[in-house]
Structure 1
């Protein structure tokens, strides 16, 4: 995930406090929201891995951030992402099938949002997934058989 993709994500999720002039892999404090007494559970940060000379966002945590809207399609470019948590927000719409292309994910939490519809069978492609939390949404239907591919879950 690069800064361009993060900018698109920020715009679609109505984030106006990120500093897009600074690479998120530089560990700039603008990419981490400090906890405060007024928002003790508000949590967001990005973690990068630069071990192979090219930096990639590998951890994306935005818990209790009052995010709304749909998951942006730009997240499909996050092929190096290992950890994604957007729990306790107001993200809505169907769970996008393109999340199934993020095959390095080991942790995925979409809990406590407003997702609706079915769980897409493409999530069965997330063969490295160890944790999947879809609780407290408005999902319907049966879980797809493809989730049986998630042997590390």
Structure 2
């Protein structure tokens, strides 16, 4: 449950939720600071995460373990980008992450660091936009160089 100080860091919520998809049993995630912070859960669910969101989008119940399958996902912000990278590493098959500008902005040289740890990760050129533009007043220019995780 993220709180401003002396609690669980809100920036770790999305990556930690990804880890919880692999843990035995049920885990609860409570968002107390930001509306819409649990949007990344939809991407985890597309990969096979068993997660229920309730409480006006402020609480998620993660049912684990859930085998994740590689698919096309979007980094919606820095935190969800980290969550998608972790999910891709845990998933069976290839995960393609679009909008990696957020990952690059939040985690310097993450691709090389993960390769040093044995991850199979690469950047590819992509001509199509994999992330839909939703809930935006103005169009957003999405990054078109997704990461591939095998």
Q: Which has the higher contact order (CA 8 A, sep 6+)?
A: 2
In which range does the TM-score fall when normalised by the shorter chain?
Answer: 0.3 to 0.5
TM-score of the aligned structures, taking structure 2 as reference length: 0.36
TM-score of the aligned structures, taking structure 1 as reference length: 0.36
User: Higher helix fraction: Structure 1 or Structure 2?
Assistant: 2
